[in-house]
Amino acid sequence: MRFPLSLTYSTASYMMRKRFGGQAKFPLVLMLEPLHTCNLHCAGCGRIREYADTLGQTLSVDECLNSITQCGAPIVSICGGEPLLYKGIIELVDRTVQLGKHIYLCTNGQLVPQKVDEFIQLAKTNRQVKSRMYWNIHLDGTTDIHDAVTGKTGSFAAAVEGIAAVKNAGFYAYTNTTLYKNADVAALAALAGQLTALKIDGIMIAPGFGYEAVGQDSFFLTKQEIHTLFKEIRVKLKRFRTTATPLYSDVLCGERELPCAAWANPTRNIKGWRSPCYLIADKHYGTYQELIERTDWTKIGPGKDKRCENCLMHCGFEPAAVLFGNRLRDLLRLGFWQLG
């Protein structure tokens, strides 16, 4: 299966409860950023730039847990910044799992070999950690490509060492790859082959989006370039365990249009609840309820906000593919894909 059965069941039952309860907008994944400090300076990341004034600050574990409870999403993506730099990471993972949540721990992998033993010890006292926490290690390509994007020689090798460490310890491990201009599909296939040899559980591939905090328009893909690139990817990486759902893949290939569902992946960080989305911050609200009620969601997305014209990021369109793919054919495709 592409994703663990417990994750699939929890998410599906949660969605059914929300829909039968008549709730129009509900979160699927909480993007939780307890800090923005990082040990890399990646070319496509805006966090260390737009939050330069708060790099020395963190959310407390209790603030994180309060946000998780406010939101109620079944999945919590702990990101940042680099979450393994967060001093309370072990306690946060432990208590989040105790709340019955599933966790994606999004890391650049540099510190995984040094930190994995702490998670192994945690799993001995909280046995659900291994079934509910999934390492999500960022790799933007093969060695030369990844090291160039991160600006650090040896960062690819360290991330691969981290993947091997968590797999050897019996954890789930996924990767996250963001593509930019001049992306090489042959190199991407080579990376997928290398990851498959490491017994990776899934490979997420998504297009980069040139938002204001990064300000490198020539570095990012236009929507038409995304469509062309992902049509080639769908053919040449078909045999690998990629995690983009069939409906989201259709969107990336330009074969289907869906509205952005940024509200389904809310972001909570040091400054508050980020509005309107993970990539664009016009405001920060004090509570999740304020985020949902005060953000004008009708003005978000391609054709509505010029900043969104080339955006097909997974944080807005992957949940849309799950939430709005209600036809029987869509559900059957999703089911067979999940079993593949």
Backbone angles phi, psi at 41, to 5 degrees: -135, 70
List the domains of the chain with CATH numbers. 5-339 (3.20.20.70)
Q: How many CB atoms lie within 10 A of CB 290?
A: 15
CA atoms within 13 A on the CB side of 57: 11
**Sign of torsion, CA 250 252 257 259?**
positive
pLDDT at position 131: 95
Residues 272 and 264 sit within 8 Å (Cβ to Cβ): no
pLDDT at position 215: 54
pTM: 0.94
Beta strand 267-269 pairing with 202-207 = unpaired
pLDDT at position 210: 63
DSSP 182-237: T--HHHHHHHHHHHHHTT-SEEEEEE----TTT--GGGS--HHHHHHHHHHHHHHT
pLDDT at position 47: 80
Q: How far is CA 215 from CA 43, 59, 209, 280, in A?
A: 10, 27, 10, 12
Residues 104 and 166 sit within 8 Å (Cβ to Cβ): no
pLDDT at position 5: 87
Reported as a single tens digit per residue, the pLDDT across 249-292 is 999 999 999 999 999 999 999 999 999 999 899 999 999 999 99
The 3-state secondary structure of 90-140 reads: HHHHHHHHHCCCEEEEEECCCCHHHHHHHHHHHHHHCCCHHHHEEEEEECC
DSSP 144-167: HHHHHHHT-TTHHHHHHHHHHHHH
**Which amino acid appears at position 287 of this protein?**
T
Cα–Cα distance for residue pair 110/95, rounded to 1 Å: 24
Reported as a single tens digit per residue, the pLDDT across 181-202 is 888 999 999 999 999 999 999 9
Closest among 147, 142, 120 to 133, alpha carbons compared: 120
The list of the chain residues with pLDDT below 50 reads none
